Amino acid sequence: MWCRVRIPHKAVLALSDTAGSKIGVRMNRPNDMLVISDLHSGAHGGLTRPVNWMSGLPQQEGEKDSTYARRKFTRAVQQAEWNWARKSLLNERPKVLVLPGDLTDGKQKKSEGAGLWSPVPKEQADAVVEIFKPLVSEETKIFIVRGTQYHDENGVEDYIAEELGAEIANHGFLEFAGVVFDLKHKESGGDVPSGRPSIRNSYLSNLLWAARDLQPLADVTIRAHLHSYHFEGSDNWLGMVLPGMQW
């Protein structure tokens, strides 16, 4: 299934759904496109609005030194991530904003909700909307790639897309300023010390599908999920795994 969105300037954003950190991708004009991965709203270690930051109170009577140190450190990281996001969106005003999955942290059943400021998916989703809605300009086109079901078992990423007026897909292709981006959330990582993310396999897979006219041929392959940064490529292709906003 194909759908196309016309951007009101020289570039065209083309989205294909194949049925299924923090990094700014610079194009031929500055600040055209910004990609922010793995927000994990709801987790203390994810992108968090100030109202949900860890307490900034001095060390309390009976509070362990280690507990206070972690609380203080967590709040400092939350503040740094918040300031970075505001600066990137308010000052740079990207034409296109891409959020490639795991926008919320979900219920975290494995840890029984440990490390969350809220285990309620709707509250986590509302926080994402509240963070981004006032920061992006009316001209900014937003594209969301769905993340893992573990973090989004309630489908709140579709709710976020609706609230932000965003396009959403499981696996999408953006054509922007003459460059085709292959966007999907999950990428597998190497399971040995010398291993590396298998993003080149994603590139080779795209070559095969494109040869049969079943996918656009991508110039840039972008993946997330691993919370680590990796890139590789050649003279006609670039692959990137993006670091997440959750630490």
User: What integer pLDDT is reported at residue 173 of this predicted model?
Assistant: 92
Closest CA to 238 of 197, 195, 186, 199: 199
Residue with token string 């496109």: 33
- Give pLDDT < 70 ranges for the chain: 1-31, 189-197, 247
Contact 96, 140 (CB under 8 A): yes
Cα separation of 35 and 223, whole Å?
A: 10
77 CB-side CA count, 13 A: 14
pLDDT above 90 coverage of the chain, percent = 32
For residue 93, what pLDDT is reported?
Answer: 75
Cβ-count burial 134-151 (b if 16+ within 10 Å, e if not): ebbeeebbbbbbbbeeeb
- Determine how many CB atoms are found less than 10 A away from the CB of residue 12: 14
Distance between CA atoms of 238 and 199, rounded to whole angstroms?
Answer: 10
> Which pLDDT score, from 0 to 100, does residue 30 have?
46
Distance of alpha carbon 201 from alpha carbon 188, whole angstroms: 10
Residue 92 pLDDT: 72
**Alpha-carbon 244 to chain mean position:** 7
| Cα-based distances in Å from 98 to 33, 144, 216 | 8, 6, 18
Sheet holding 237-241, edge to edge: 171-176, 179-184, 220-223, 237-241, 230-234
Strands 96-99 and 33-35: parallel
> What confidence score (pLDDT) does residue 18 get?
44
State pLDDT tens for residues 219-246: 999 998 878 788 888 888 999 888 887 7
Exposed, middle or buried by CB within 10 Å (0-12, 13-18, 19+), for 162? exposed
> What per-residue confidence (pLDDT) applies to 31?
52
Sole residue written with tokens 């968090």: 48
For 70-133, give the DSSP string.
HHHHHHHHHHHHHHHHHIIIIIH--SEEEE-S--B----TTTTTTTBS---HHHHHHHHHHHHT
Q: Which two tokens stand for residue 124?
A: 């986590």
Contact 214, 240 (CB under 8 A): no
Measure the CA–CA gap between 102 and 188, rounded to whole angstroms.
15
